[in-house]
Structure 1
Amino acid sequence: MKNLVILGAGTAGTMMANHLIKALPKSQWQITIVDQFKSHYYQPGFLFIPFGTYQPEDVKKTIDEFIPKGVKLVKEEINKIDNETDSVLLKNGNTIKYDILIIATGCKTAPEEIPGMKGDTWYKNIFDFYTFEGSCALAKKLETWPGGKLVVHITEMPIKCPVAPLEFAFLADDFFTKRGIRDKVEISYVTPLSGAFTKPKTTETLNYLLQEKNIKIVPDFAVEHIEGENGKMFDYGGEEVDFDLLVTVPTNMGDDCILRSGFGDDLNFVPTDKHTLQSKVKENIFVIGDATNVPASKAGSVAHFQAEILTENILKYIEGKPLKPDFDGHANCFIETGKGKALLIDFNYDVEPVKGKFPFAGIGPLNLLEESAFNHFGKMAFRWVYWNMLLPARKIPFVTPKMSKAGKQLDDITV
Structure 2
Amino acid sequence: MKRLLILGAGTSGTMMANHLVSKLPKNDWKITIVDQYKTHYYQPGFLFLPFDIYTTKQVKKNGKKFIPKKVEYIQKKIELIQPEANKVELEGGEILNYDILIVATGTKIAPAETEGMDGPMWHKNIFDFYTYEGAKALRNKLREWKGGKLVVHITEMPIKCPVAPLEFAFLADSYFKNKGMRDKVDITYVTPLGGAFTKPKATETLHYLLEEKNIKEVTDFSIERVDYENNKIIDYADTEVEYDLLVTVPTNMGDELIEKSGMGDDLNFIPTNKATLQTNDYENIFAIGDATNLPASKAGSVAHFEAEILTENILRYINGEPLKEEFDGHANCFIETGNGKALLIDFNYTHEPVEGSFPFPHVGPLSLLKESRTNHMGKMAFRWIYWNMLIKGIHIPFVSATMSEKGKHFETIEK
- Could you say which TM-score interval applies, normalised by the shorter chain? over 0.9
Instruction: Output the amino acid matched with 1:317.
Output: Y
Q: What's 2:67 paired with?
A: 67
Q: What's 2:297 paired with?
A: 297
Q: Secondary structure at the match of 1:298?
A: coil
* Cα distance per residue 1:210-231 (max 9 Å; x no partner): 0000000000001000011210
Q: What's 1:156 paired with?
A: 156
Cα separation, 1, equivalents of 2:153 and 2:407: 34
Structure 2 matches for 1:288-367, cutoff 5 A? Answer: 288-367=288-367
Cα separation, 2, equivalents of 1:147 and 1:409: 43
Cα separation, 1, equivalents of 2:295 and 2:76: 30
* Cα distance per residue 1:246-297 (max 9 Å; x no partner): 0000000000100000120000000000000000121000000000000000
Instruction: Output the amino acid matched with 1:243.
Output: Y
Offset at residue 113 of structure 1 (A): 0.5
Structure 2 matches for 1:57-206, cutoff 5 A? Answer: 57-206=57-206
Please say if residues 223 and 234 of structure 1, whose CA atoms lie closer than 8 Å, have aligned partners that are also in contact.
yes
* Cα distance per residue 1:48-85 (max 9 Å; x no partner): 00000001111000111100011001111011110111
Q: Secondary structure at the match of 1:172?
A: helix
* Cα distance per residue 1:325-350 (max 9 Å; x no partner): 00000000000000000000000000
Please say if residues 125 and 244 of structure 1, whose CA atoms lie closer than 8 Å, have aligned partners that are also in contact.
yes
Cα separation, 1, equivalents of 2:57 and 2:395: 26
Alignment coverage as a number of residue pairs:
414
Cα separation, 1, equivalents of 2:153 and 2:315: 42
Cα separation, 1, equivalents of 2:378 and 2:40: 22
Cα separation, 2, equivalents of 1:269 and 1:371: 34
Please say if residues 76 and 92 of structure 1, whose CA atoms lie closer than 8 Å, have aligned partners that are also in contact.
no
Cα separation, 1, equivalents of 2:97 and 2:45: 36
Unaligned runs of at least 5 residues, structure 1: none
Deviation >2 Å, runs of 4+: 412-415
Offset at residue 91 of structure 1 (A): 2.1
Cα separation, 2, equivalents of 1:263 and 1:28: 28
* Cα distance per residue 1:373-412 (max 9 Å; x no partner): 00000000000000000011001000000100112122x4
Q: What's 2:406 paired with?
A: 406
Normalization by structure 1: what TM-score?
Answer: 0.99
Q: CA RMSD in A?
A: 0.6
Q: What's 1:222 paired with?
A: 222
Structure 2 matches for 1:374-385, cutoff 5 A? Answer: 374-385=374-385
* Cα distance per residue 1:153-212 (max 9 Å; x no partner): 000000000000000000000000011110010000000000000101100000000000
Please say if residues 123 and 134 of structure 1, whose CA atoms lie closer than 8 Å, have aligned partners that are also in contact.
yes
Offset at residue 26 of structure 1 (A): 1.6
Q: Does 1:257 align with 2:228?
A: no
Q: Secondary structure at the match of 1:143?
A: helix
Normalization by structure 2: what TM-score?
Answer: 0.99
Instruction: Output the amino acid matched with 2:30.
Output: Q
Cα separation, 2, equivalents of 1:144 and 1:395: 42
Q: What's 1:30 paired with?
A: 30
Offset at residue 413 of structure 1 (A): 4.1
Offset at residue 414 of structure 1 (A): 3.6
Offset at residue 364 of structure 1 (A): 0.7
Cα separation, 1, equivalents of 2:227 and 2:281: 40
Instruction: Output the amino acid matched with 1:52.
Output: D
Cα separation, 2, equivalents of 1:301 and 1:7: 20
Instruction: Output the amino acid matched with 1:131.
Output: T
Instruction: Output the amino acid matched with 1:255.
Output: D
Q: Secondary structure at the match of 2:17?
A: helix
* Cα distance per residue 1:27-54 (max 9 Å; x no partner): 1100000000000000000000000000
Unaligned runs of at least 5 residues, structure 2: none
Percent identity (aligned): 66
* Cα distance per residue 1:221-242 (max 9 Å; x no partner): 0100001121011001110000
* Cα distance per residue 1:283-335 (max 9 Å; x no partner): 00000000000000000000000000000000000000100000000000000
Cα separation, 1, equivalents of 2:383 and 2:130: 17
Q: Secondary structure at the match of 1:388?
A: helix
Cα separation, 2, equivalents of 1:406 and 1:56: 39
Cα separation, 2, equivalents of 1:57 and 1:398: 30
Cα separation, 2, equivalents of 1:227 and 1:180: 31
* Cα distance per residue 1:120-169 (max 9 Å; x no partner): 00011100000000000000000010000000000000000000000000
Q: What's 2:235 paired with?
A: 235
Cα separation, 1, equivalents of 2:2 and 2:214: 59
Q: What's 1:274 paired with?
A: 274
Please say if residues 358 and 407 of structure 1, whose CA atoms lie closer than 8 Å, have aligned partners that are also in contact.
no
